[in-house]
Amino acid sequence: MGLLGTAALARQAGAEAPPAKSQTKPGEMALPSALPPAPAESMQQASPASAARLTASELNARYSDPAMLPSPDGYAKPRTKLKMPQLRDPKEQAFDELLDETVTFSRDEINRYYDRIDDFKRSVRTPDGQMHRAVISSVIVNLQPGSVIPVMRLNVNENSSLLFTDSTGNPWPVVKFAAPSKSMFAVEFHPNNNPHEIALEPIKDYAYGNLKVFLAGMSTPVFVRLVTGQKETDVRLDARMPVRGPNAAALIEKQMPPEASSSMFSMLNGVVPEKAQELRVEGADARAWMLDGKMYLRLTNKTSVRSPSWTGTMSSIDGTNVYELPARTPVIYAAQEGKSVELRVSGF
């Protein structure tokens, strides 16, 4: 048989030969029918058998590693190993996204916001934008025709008391009164507890009105004007009548003048006249001044002068007394809670 016949028989045998059985074990990747060409360097170093075929375990290891995936130029050099991104906790990521959506202000902007809220609250509580100065005042009521009636300054959300006293500082009971509109002021009166006191509180800003009061034993009413919106608030106003009231003590010593000087009234309220010269007093809680050639002594805690004889006096409802004495009186005897007290005055 010639060469042509031999070649034909070989082709016929190859076509009729059964397919080879797979040598792949369970769990291993099947050997591909065609492998990419191996690099030249590895072909030179490897043996002909290893270059021609790779085991299934080597092939699986090579394809399972992303860094060893085939490249266009073969397996000469492994690629750089890929780094997987670090994934955040979905809950934390969702919480941060919620914060970014709801809280979009910086710390300074938040502080400015709360400062503005604080200013708003302060403006609501103080409608005119300022805090009023609360004071305790007193005024002498002038009952003569043509005189100006006393004024009481009030403020919203602040309780105030109007007290009536006589020239000796004793309470003067109120019989009845006529209050302004109920829509403007809230008025309370307790005749059994404090018959000389009327409690007042304005309801509206910039409210005004008059209060007409009838005192026991006095046929003429006393008028007091009520105003609001001032820088100062009279939390207590002592309306002092220039005459003796029904609760005045019986006169033992000489008759007191019906009206004391304005200087004595100022000293009674703790306001010293500009021209007064202050003196030093030892022996009791007292103050003394020289004014217009006369000496004035202010005593607290219901302390009263016994000697020398005074020429004028004025008292307040809290037990403070002011006396007008002869000039340059260095030694004064007083009574305090039934005890005799000696006062020494210097600095004339």
| Tokens 């005189």, residue located | 147
- pLDDT band at residue 10, thresholds of 50, 70 and 90? very low
Give the distance, in angstroms, between the CA of residue 309 and the centroid of all CA atoms in the same chain: 55
Give 218-247 pLDDT, tens digit per residue. 888 999 999 998 889 999 999 988 888 888
pLDDT at residue 113 above 50?
yes
3-state helix, strand, coil split of the chain in percent (to 5) is: 20, 30, 50
Give the distance, in angstroms, between the CA of residue 259 and the centroid of all CA atoms in the same chain: 47
Q: Which residues contact 130 (CB under 8 A, 6 or more apart)?
A: 231
Which domains does the chain possess? 133-240 (2.60.40.1080), 262-346 (no CATH)
User: Considering only 32-46, 84-98, 102-116, 174-188, which range has the smallest mean pLDDT?
Assistant: 32-46
Tokens at residue 134, please? Answer: 């609360």
Question: Which CB contacts under 8 angstroms, 24+ apart, belong to 275-282?
Answer: 278/347, 279/345, 279/346, 279/347, 279/348, 280/345, 280/346, 280/347, 281/343, 281/344, 281/345, 282/343, 282/344, 282/346
Tokens at residue 161, please? Answer: 């008391």
The pTM score is: 0.51
| Tokens 């002021």, residue located | 185
- How many Å apart are CA 53 and CA 49, to the nearest integer? 6
What is the DSSP track for 58-114?
Answer: HHHHHHHSGGGS-BTTBSSSPPPPP----PPPHHHHHHHHHHHHH----HHHHHHHH
- pLDDT band at residue 259, thresholds of 50, 70 and 90? very low
Comparison of pLDDT for 40 and 307, the residue scoring more: 307
Query: Are 345 and 280 in contact, with CB atoms under 8 Å apart?
Result: yes
| Phi, psi at 159, each rounded to 5° | -80, 140
pLDDT at residue 142 above 70?
yes
Comparison of pLDDT for 247 and 13, the residue scoring more: 247
Comparison of pLDDT for 5 and 217, the residue scoring more: 217
- Residue 171 is given by DSSP the state B
Tokens at residue 150, please? Answer: 């006393």
Give the distance, in angstroms, between the CA of residue 228 and the centroid of all CA atoms in the same chain: 25
Query: Are 164 and 222 in contact, with CB atoms under 8 Å apart?
Result: yes
- How many Å apart are CA 42 and CA 50, to the nearest integer? 10
| Backbone φ/ψ region at 273: left (φ over 0), alpha (ψ -120 to 50), beta | beta
